[in-house]
Amino acid sequence: MKVFTQSVNFNMDKDLKSYVEDKVTSLSKFYDKIIGAEVFLKVQKTSEKENKIAEIKLNVPGDDMMVKKLSKTFEESISLAVEALKRNLEKLKAKQRNH
């Protein structure tokens, strides 16, 4: 699976990039037909502490899945987004088994 990562309004360090790639590639354990993923990390310009946004778009045959999560850290946002995608992939897999 190819993971494309882009940071908006900040410069991403190597540790964060490898964290993103590890988390996103772990999704292939749940669904083996994932073509690729696009990850966008953004800093929202607000006075609130929860201003780190992680958007993950998974390219799956027949459909694309998009999840957007907001939290205090990028790691937390990525973890929340990956968990949501994991649930979506399990639903997709169950739906395909029923057909």
Q: Are 43 and 72 in contact (CB under 8 A)?
A: no
**Residue 44 reports pLDDT greater than 90:** no
User: Which pTM does this prediction carry?
Assistant: 0.91
What is the mean predicted confidence (pLDDT) over 43-69?
90
> Rounded to the nearest 10 degrees, what angle do helices 14-25 and 74-98 cross at?
20
**Residue 45 reports pLDDT greater than 90:** no
pLDDT over 90 percentage in the chain: 70
Where do the domains of the chain lie, and which CATH numbers do they carry?
A: 2-98 (3.30.160.100)
Question: According to the model, what pLDDT value does residue 5 have?
Answer: 95
What is the mean predicted confidence (pLDDT) over 60-75?
92
